[in-house]
Structure 1
Amino acid sequence: MDVVTLGETMVLFTPEHAGPMRYSDRFSSRVAGAESNVAIGLARLGVQAGWISRLGADEFGKKIRAFVRGEGVDTSRITIDETADTGLFFKEKLAPGEWRVKYYRKDSAASRMRPDDVDETYIADAKFLHITGITPALSESCYETVLNAIYYAKRNNVLVVFDPNLRRKLWQEARAREVLLELAGQADIVLPGIEEAEFLFGSGSTEQLARKFHAHGASVVVMKLGKQGAYYLDQDMEGYAAGFENPEVVDPVGAGDGFSAGFLSGLLDGLNLPDSVQRANAVGAMVTMAAGDVEGLPEKERLLEFMHNRGQGDVER
C-alpha cells in the first residue's frame, strides 16, 4: 500500500433545482468524504490507496463501500456497525455560487470509530498516512483513533501527511485550535489553506505562516492559495507554484482533496517538491471543472494532457 487514510464518508443529496429545499421533490445522490476523495484521487493516478472507516449496516453504507471499492481503493479495513447509521448530508443551491449544507451525522457509524479499528500492520505497510482535521472533530473516540494511527505510523517510519481541513461547525474554536496544532506538530508534511494557517497562528504573510508550521514540527509545508497556486517550504528550498487558468469554476468542493492526491502522487512518482506542488495545483483546478467531490478527479493520462495544454505555470524556487 502506498497511502492509507481514514475518516468519514457520507451520502450527499442535492436538489435538482436551485432554491429552498422545501420546494424540491427530486434529488441526486453522490458519495462524498474528504479522505475517501483523496484515496479515489490517488487510485485514479495509479497509486495504491487504502481507506479506513466505519459504516452503518444500511443501504447507504453499502452504497459507499461499493462506490469507493469500485474506484480501486482498498476497503478491507472498513468496520460495519450494526447499531449505527451511515451519515447523510444535503447541499442546497440557493443561487449561483451560493450553497447551504446541512449534515445528519450525529452519532453516525463513523463517529464511533475507535483506536482498535486501526490495524498497525496495515499502517506499517504504507509509505504515507494521510489524515485530516475533520475526523478528530467527530468525537473523542475518533480523536483517539487518529492519534493511534499516527502512533503506529511513527513507530513504523511511515510519513504522516496532515490537511487541517477546518470545519468550524463541528467543534468549539478553542478545542479545534488545540487539536489541529497538536496534529500539525506530529505531521511530517502539512497541507494547510491560508485561512486555516491564520486560524492557527494569527495574521502574517504566506511565508511567515509557513515558517510557523515548519518551526512547529513539520518538515514540509505546502500552503494552498486557491487559484493563485501554492507556496512550498522545506529545509532546502521554498517558492511559489502558480495555479492553472480555469475560466469556469463549476463546483469548488473537493479541490483541496484533489490537491492532496496530486501532491502525494507526485512524490510517489519521484517528482521533486516544486513539481509535486505543480501537479497538485493542476488536479485541484481540474476538480473545480465538474460538479461533485470526485467527478473531476483525473486519471494520469488526462492530468498530463491538461498540464501540457494549459502550460506548466511558473515555479519560483
Structure 2
Amino acid sequence: MASKRFVSIGECMIEMSGGDDRLYRLGFAGDTLNTAWYARALLPADWSVDYVTALGDDLYSAQMREFIGKAGIGTAHIQEIKAKRPGLYMIHQADGDRHFTYWRGQSAAKLLADDAEALDAALDAADIVYFSGITMAILAPRARGRLMKAIVKARNGGARVVFDTNIRPVLWTSPEIMQAVLTSAASISDIVLPTHSDEAPFFGDRDITATAERYLGLGVEEVIVKDGSNPALVATAELREHVSAGSGLAVVDATGAGDSFNSGYLSARIAGASPVEAAQRAHAVAGVVIGHKGALVAPELLDRA
C-alpha cells in the first residue's frame, strides 16, 4: 500500500530563547513546522510528513534542513534560494509573559510560492495539505494566488485541505486585506481551526459560536474553534458541541499549544475518531505540550496524552 502524505506549508525560523545574562539558545520553530513535528509524532508509520518552505544557502539554513530531516519530516520540497536567509526571532520575558521580536526581511520563506511548478510537485498526491494564516501573511499578493491555486489543484486531486487562520496582525498591511485573504483561504479548505480570541477583534464575532458559524457559512465542513483554556467548539453541518480541556493542567509554556492541538485533532480524525473524540485527543496532546518549555517537546512525551 502506498504511503499517505501529510504536507505542511509555511515558514520555519531561527529561534533565540533564554536571554538570561544575554545568553541565548538557538533553536528552530514556526507554526506550520510545529504542526508537522507533532503530526510526525502522532501519525502512523504508513504516513509520510513533508515540509514545504524555502531556505537560503547559508549555514543556518543547512542546520535547519538537517534538524527537520532528523525529526523524520521530509525535506525534498524545501527550496534553496540563493543569497537569502531564514527569518529569526528572539524571545524575552516581561511582565510574566513571553514577548517576541522578529527579523523577516531576508527570509527565504517569503518566496516559497514563487515557483508554481515546484509547488505543484510538492503537493502532488498529498492526502492532507496544511497551511496557516502566517503562511499567507508572509507572501506577496501574487504568490498568495499561486499558493491557493496549487492547493485547489491538490484538493481537486483528492487532498483534504486544513487551514489554521493563526492571526498575526503585524504581518499584514491592513486589517481589511488580512480579513479578505483569510476568508479566501478558508473558503478552499475542508477543515478550519481558528482561535476565537484572535478572530473576534477583527471579524466582530460576538462569541465562539459566531466564529464557527462564519466559517461554516463559507462551506467549510469542519470547524474547531479553539479558545485558550476554555472549551473548544466542534462544529459541522449537523453538530455543535463544546469540548473541555482537562482540569488542573500546569502551564509551563504555552508556545506551540495550538499547533499541537491541530496535530492531535487531525491524527485522531485520520485514525477514525469522531470530531468530538478528536477534539478530546487534541486537548490531551496540547496539555502535554504546555507542561514543558518550548514549542517542540520530545515525541515520547506524547505517550502521556
SS of structure 2 residue aligned to 1:61: helix
For normalisation by structure 2, the TM-score amounts to 0.91
- Whole-Å Cα distance in 1 between the matches of residues 24 and 212 of structure 2? 41
Q: Distance in 1 between matches of 2:147 and 2:106?
A: 18
- SS state at 2:217 partner: helix
The residue number in structure 2 matching 1:30 is 27
Residue 46 of structure 1 pairs with residue 43 of structure 2? yes
Q: Distance in 1 between matches of 2:56 and 2:216?
A: 39
Give 1:84-99 correspondences, 5 Å limit: 84-95=84-95, 97-99=96-98
Give the Å deviation of 1:273. Answer: 0.9
- 1:199 and 1:179 map into 2 onto residues whose CA distance is 16
Q: 1:304: Cα distance to partner? A: 5.2
- Distance in 2 of aligned mates of 1:88 and 1:16: 15
Counterpart pick for 1:12 among 4, 11, 15: 15
The alignment status of 1:100 with 2:103, answered yes or no, reads no
Q: Cα–Cα, structure 1 residues 60 and 35, in superposed 2: closer, same or farther, change >3 Å?
A: same
DSSP 3-state at the match of 2:105: coil
Q: Following TM superposition, by how much is the alpha carbon of 1:117 offset from its aligned partner in structure 2, in angstroms?
A: 6.0
Aligned to 1:71: 71
**Are 1:214 and 2:213 matched, yes or no?**
no
Is the partner of 2:229 in helix, strand or coil?
helix
Name the CA distance, whole Å, in 2 between partners of 1:269 and 1:130: 17
The answer for the alignment partner of 2:163 in structure 1 is: 162
Equivalent residues, number: 296
277-286 vs 119-128, greater mean Cα deviation: 119-128
Task: Please give the per-residue CA displacement for 1:99-129, whole angstroms capped at 9, x wherever unaligned.
Answer: 2211111131111222426443542422211
Q: Percent of counterpart pairs with the same letter?
A: 27
Counterparts of 1:148-297 in structure 2, within 5 Å, are 148-171=149-172, 172-295=174-297
In the aligned structure 2, how far is the partner of 1:147 from the partner of 1:256? 23
Q: CA RMSD in A?
A: 1.8
Residue 144 (str. 1) matches residue 145 (str. 2) = yes
TM-score by length of 1: 0.88
Query: Structure 1 29/41 Cα, relative in aligned 2: closer, same or farther at 3 Å?
Result: same
**Equivalent position of 1:310 in the other structure:** none
In 1, the alpha carbon distance for the partners of 2:211 and 2:203 equals 7
Contact 2:288 2:304 in 1 (8 A): no
* CA-to-aligned-CA distance 1:292-317 (integer Å, 9 cap, x gap): 1112x644xx54543xxxxxxxxxxx
Secondary structure of the equivalent of 1:264? helix
- 5+ unaligned residues in a row in structure 2: which ranges? none
Inter-partner Cα distance in structure 1 for 2:104 and 2:181 = 21
Structure 1: distance between partners of 2:189 and 2:216: 10
Change beyond 3 A, Cα 1:11–1:142 = farther
Report the Cα distance in structure 2 between the residues aligned to 1:183 and 1:200, rounded to whole angstroms.
16
In 2: Cα distance, 1:165 partner to 1:225 partner: 12
SS of aligned partner of 2:247? coil
SS in 2 for 1:227: coil
